[in-house]
Amino acid sequence: MTAKITYNTKNYNIDLLNPLDISIPIRGNASNVNAWYVGPPKIVPHTEGDFIGKITEGASTNFNDISFNPHAHGTHTECVGHITEEFHSVNKSFNQFFFMAEVITIAPEKHKGDFIISKKQLKYALGNKKRQAVIIRTLPNLSDKISRQYSNTNPPYLQEEAAEFLVESGVEHLLVDLPSVDKEKDNGELLAHKAFWNVKGAIRHKATITEFIFVANTIQDGKYFLNLQVAPFENDASPSRPVLYKILDKEG
């Protein structure tokens, strides 16, 4: 099954039967991916008095309570409300859900004791391509990313000028397989977040950052259509499910 999408006056056929899900699910135990010094998410039967919301405990249905933090516990998409005093909801950030995207793979480079993604690396990987979304897969790309415990590990992050380059390139949606685009402990500077949303100028209210994705090694670098859906929470961030679709046409 294919679908025809028109983008910049050109028609593209995408493969709907073979979606490439790059999200990490939330599991209610300690095997869940984690960051920011919080405990694991919880998915447990609701209890009230003698009632236990579990069929094996006598209930007619399974009826679970779920407790999690979207920033710490899996693939999530965030809007500028993540770093502003004024409330902004990621649920209001979208008026479309399909975007022309580029998958790139980068080995973070050593810089002053950290591992960073630089402007030079992004410029080399993207060239002059114009994409609405950029998906960054970092190396090494091991399957333990779906359960890694990131707190106090100083993961790689984007340099401020790297985020500025993405803005200059017209990128509206940035997706990374890291817990943050910024350094874990940066004294609240949040340089890459602030640069990507242009908080010192005309704020980019429709721009989003998606963190904690996982791009399998079987997915090749290149151009895709991205379907980016968020759970409809009125919050600065929400669990999300980014899905890639191969483009069958060679044009464009």
What's 211's domain CATH number?
Answer: 3.50.30.50
Is the pLDDT at 249 greater than 90? The verdict is: no
pLDDT at position 176 over 90: yes
Instruction: Determine, yes or no, domain membership for 40.
Output: no
Per-chain mean pLDDT for the chain: 96
Does residue 234 form part of some domain? yes
In-domain check, residue 157: yes
Residue 52 domain-assigned (yes or no): no
**What is the pLDDT at residue 251?**
47
Percentage above 90 pLDDT, the chain = 92
Stretch 178-195: mean pLDDT: 98
* CA dihedral angle for residue 89, residue 190, residue 196, residue 200, rounded to 10 degrees: 90
Confidence band, pLDDT 50/70/90 cuts, at residue 252: very low
With a cut of 90, say whether residue 88 has pLDDT above it: yes
**Contact at 8 Å (CB) between 65 and 42?**
yes
Give the range of the structural domain holding residue 200, as residue numbers without chain letter: 2-24+71-246
- Give me 102's structure tokens: 């580029």
Report if residue 177 sits inside a domain. yes
Residue 182: inside a domain:
yes
pLDDT at 10: 84
Q: Note whether residue 166 is domain-resident.
A: yes
Residues near 155 by Cβ (< 8 Å), separated by ≥ 6? 115, 178, 179, 180, 184
What pLDDT does residue 59 have? 97
All residues at 6 or more sequence positions from 149 whose CB lies less than 8 Å from its CB, including other chains: 33, 34, 35
- List the beta bridge partners of residue 109: 116
Q: What pLDDT, on a 0 to 100 scale, did the predictor assign at position 5?
A: 77
Model pLDDT for residues 106-145, shown as the tens digit of each residue: 999 999 999 999 999 999 999 999 999 999 999 999 999 9
Residues 235-245: what's their mean pLDDT? 98
Task: Give per-residue pLDDT as tens, 23-78.
Answer: 999 999 999 999 999 999 999 999 999 999 999 999 999 999 999 999 999 999 99
Threshold 0.85, pTM exceeds: yes
- For tokens 């022309």, name the residue: 100
Asked if the structure places residue 172 within a domain, the reply is yes
Burial (CB count <10 Å: 0-12, 13-18, 19+), residue 234: exposed
- Number of structural domains, the chain? 1
Region 160-172 average pLDDT: 98
